Chains A and B, each alone.
Chain A
Amino acid sequence: MSLRIGIDVGSTHTDAVIVDKDNRLIAATKVVTSPDVTSGVLEALTKIVKESGVDPSEVAAAMFGTTHCLNAILQRKDLARVAVIRIGLPATAAVEPMVDWPPDLRRAVGDLKFLVEGGHEYTGEEISPLNEARLREICREVKGKVEAVAITSVFSPVNPDHEVRAAEIVREELGEIPVTMSSEISTLGLLERENSAILNAAVTFVANRAIQAFLEVMRSLGLEKAKLYLTQNDGTVMEAKHAAKYPIFTVATGATNSLRGAQMLTGIKDAIVVDVGGCTTNVGMLVKGFPRESTIHVEIGGVRTNFRMPDIFSIGIAGGSIVRVDDGRVCVGPESVGHELVKCGLAWGGNVVTATDVALALGVMSIEDPNCKPELARRQLDPELARKAYEIIVEGVEYAIDRVKTRPEPMPVILVGGGSLMLPTRLRGASKVIRPEHAQSANAIGAATAKTGAQIDKAYSLEHLSREKALEDAKISAVAKAVEAGADPNTVEIVEIEEIAMPYLPGNAVRIRVKAVGEIKL
């Protein structure tokens, strides 16, 4: 009972690995990502279990990084209809929920919104008492018309009481229905937090269905004893039952799994990670072993959100990027042949010039594939064109590296991902370039070896509370949430504390953010 399976869904390939208790790689495989995602994941899981020949009862955990929720939002597909409840009247009426959502996404979640009296001031005092009667009325109105509920109360990161009470009322009236409280999703900034909560509620449906499908195949493969985890945006994993409640935390895991995998494969905790896939290259930064997070609003599917997302810079230059000449100018990407590289690429006998063909023709990389014939690329490619295209590829990556940095000093750069072999071992801005063994499976390894944890981001008014007490409270709730997410209580540690003063307010209001991480409890 010591093996772990890691699966990561990319835009072109779905990768799977098995690691042992010392995080050594036992087996790795990949399949083409399927349009529905689920069948590709199941194929990868089946393949790795069968090919590796491991005893299924030895597998203790399966960690899945999937794009189900992100795709559902981007494609406006399989979204739950959500009753959007905002608590804050008489405040907030000037801007109703979802005012600036793309109309198709608003329709996809049902466009049912309600404003209720209640909410708090920054001091924690009530704006007005919670109108419970109105809440019950709303519940009766939406009964049978919605599959989830999102509740957002003004200043709930300071005082969540009204959200908690409203959730109780909703459950009393509507029974077992997924209820998202905004204070559990993100922080101050009403519209962005509300948007985040609505999106979370909207993807509960698709997340649950995916989890059920994963569990079924795990059972059919004899992985009955393995616990299912989903990887989340901050580079940790959460148990399936937790993920079912907070599925929005899985929308950016592709990039973070690769970052964590790069950390595992090299042991380096502070570095820039370049993950070269088939269609895009994602560049992010590891800070103390975890992906650095974005400090600005991140738009998802055209909606402004403020839950924690990794700070990733993406460019449309990757292994499958199409190389062409436009008006005498050489261009690389953003169009890509994706997984068709092994059919369309010059080196595979096709007639599309790709970034990989360029690298093969110049002799900077080799690929262990009997069907890949670099001489085909070399013969057909004009050396001058190849040289120019390669320059563009390298410059693009160097530009992305620079954009991710916070200081001009060179930093270690770790190259991972299926397309990373095409990059040179010297890059501008890099103190050294590391290309770890198993780099092409870094994403799945990142998933398989992930820790679990949680973070809280809460506002405190220090008028009636000492700073120490506030910090203590924040730490306790972060640890409790990490344990709830499946961490072994004996290994939980606080990996990050951030204190942000909120200026112009009397009574010393502060925002405290704490991240707690521990080994998963198996």
Chain B
Amino acid sequence: MMELNEQDVEDVAVGAAILGSGGGGDPYLGKLMCLQALRRGKRIRLVDLEEVPEDAFIVPTAGMGTPIVLVEKLPNGSEPLNALRILEAYVGKKAYATIPIEAGGVNSTIPLAVGALADIPIIDGDGMGRAFPELQMTTFFTHGVAVSPMSMADEKGNSLLISALDGYWAEKIARVVTIKFGGIAWVAIYTMTGRQAREAVIPRTVSLALKLGRAVREAREMGRSPLDHLLHVSGGFELFTGKIVDVARRIAGGFTRGEAKIEGLDSYRNETLTIQFQNENLVAVKDGEIVASVPDLIIVLDVETAQPITTERLRYGQRVAVIGMPCHEKWRTPEGLKVVGPRYFGYDVEYVPIERRVKGGGLK
């Protein structure tokens, strides 16, 4: 068990933005919820999967809805707690812990606040190891954890319990309710036992976010290159350094798709890297050859500050470094790749793990 302080929360938020791989939304709101909870004497306790009892009842929590509503109608704080309580009542067990569904982006930090407010620990792990755009893109789903029972709550005290046939129905029902709730709803979903969690959870991703954020901060404080420090701590690979020369975007099927073209600088002079994205960065192509692809993480950072740049913020003239980080083993199985592999996102290519591409492709 490990307890997070205010500085840790700040660091987790930076790390979560890095793990967002260009998407996932801003972890800022959840960070502020955590800071307020800490200042009121609440505790954020991270528990390792190893410590979780086999029969523990685990309730993941998250916010869903429209980003613009999320930043305008901030939560009361009781909503995710209500959602969690409903499932407790229905199942007839007290929640042992909550857990983030995604370690990258906005939903990474919110469960930390939920745990603090409910006075339960947060499991150090998640269902993605990064950010993905759809609810079924979790290792919870690929490991057979049921979506239902699922509960939803709003700030006014409304709540409901959903027994959906499957994820498809859960999503359909939840969308309608979310709109009636005013564009944002707080959900508890994918409940599991400790035994299931050991199978289905990507472990130690909250502490990974903490490590990444801390690496960036400490390097800045010591006047060292945050980028080098980050690469060292993350076990990631530098894919490219350059200047963005073109960004094209289009809205397709509710998502923003597009690509950014980067012209090499320094040791990458005369080379070009193109990143294709759909909310998150999907594929990096250097001079016609793929150098990294989903589900591995492709992260664009400001070359000087190592501040991650989300896909909607990419613009001409930015000096960026592109790094790649291996995704978790759980995504590299046939079942995992079916849900989040390059083919799912419309690329007719085989997934090759980034460390093999790096060794075989002569990357620097």
Binding site for A on B (CB under 8 A): 29, 32-33, 35-36, 65-69, 71-77, 113, 155-157, 179, 182-183, 243, 245-246, 251, 254, 313, 315-318
Contacts and interface: CB of A to CB of B under 8 A. Distances in A.
Contacts of A127: 73, 155-156, 182
A405 interface: yes
A375 interface: no
A104 interface: no
A503 B73 contact: no
B75 A92 contact: yes
Contact of B77 (A94, A119, A189, A408): A94
Nearest to B256: A503
A325 interface: no
Nearest to B245: A408
Nearest to A304: B28
B32 A99 contact: yes
A122 B75 contact: no
Contacts of B35: 99-100
Contacts of A353: none
Nearest to A296: B313
A183 B243 CA distance: 38
A402 B317 contact: yes
Nearest to A154: B73
A402 B319 CA distance: 10
Contact of A502 (B36, B68, B243): B68
A220 interface: no
B66 A504 contact: yes
Contacts of A92: 73-76, 155
A406 B254 contact: no
A190 B73 contact: yes
A478 B33 CA distance: 36
A94 B316 contact: no
A88 B74 contact: yes
A191 B73 contact: no
Contact of B74 (A94, A188, A505): A94
A95 B36 contact: yes
Contacts of A121: 73, 182-183
A281 to B, nearest CB: 16
B66 A100 contact: no
Contacts of B72: 122, 154-155, 188-190
A403 B304 CA distance: 14
Contact of B156 (A90, A99, A191): A90
Contacts of A94: 32-33, 36, 74-77, 113
Interface in A261-276: none
Given A91-B73, A93-B76, A154-B72, 7 more contacts: A94-B32, A121-B182, A122-B69, A402-B243, A403-B317, A404-B317, A406-B316
A395 interface: no
A408 B317 CA distance: 8
Contacts of B243: 402
B74 A99 contact: no
A469 interface: no
B76 A191 contact: no
B219 to A, nearest CB: 20
Interface string A390-420: 0000000000001111111000000000000
A128 B36 CA distance: 24
Contacts of B32: 94-95, 99-100, 191
Interface in A97-149: 99-100, 119, 121-123, 127-128
16 contacts: A90-B157, A91-B75, A92-B76, A93-B76, A94-B113, A121-B73, A121-B182, A155-B72, A190-B72, A403-B317, A407-B316, A408-B246, A502-B66, A504-B66, A505-B66, A505-B69
A88 B73 contact: yes
B176 to A, nearest CB: 10
Interface string A151-190: 0001100000000000000000000000000000000111
A485 B29 CA distance: 35
Contact of B71 (A188, A407, A408): A188
A96 interface: yes
A37 to B, nearest CB: 32
A502 B65 CA distance: 12
Nearest to A502: B68
A53 interface: no
Nearest to B29: A95
A251 B155 CA distance: 36
Contacts of B36: 94-96, 99
Interface string A478-519: 000000000000000000000000111110000000000000
Nearest to A406: B316
A95 B74 CA distance: 7
Contacts of A407: 316
Contacts of B313: 296
A42 B265 CA distance: 50
Nearest to A188: B72
A155 B66 CA distance: 14
A90 B76 contact: yes
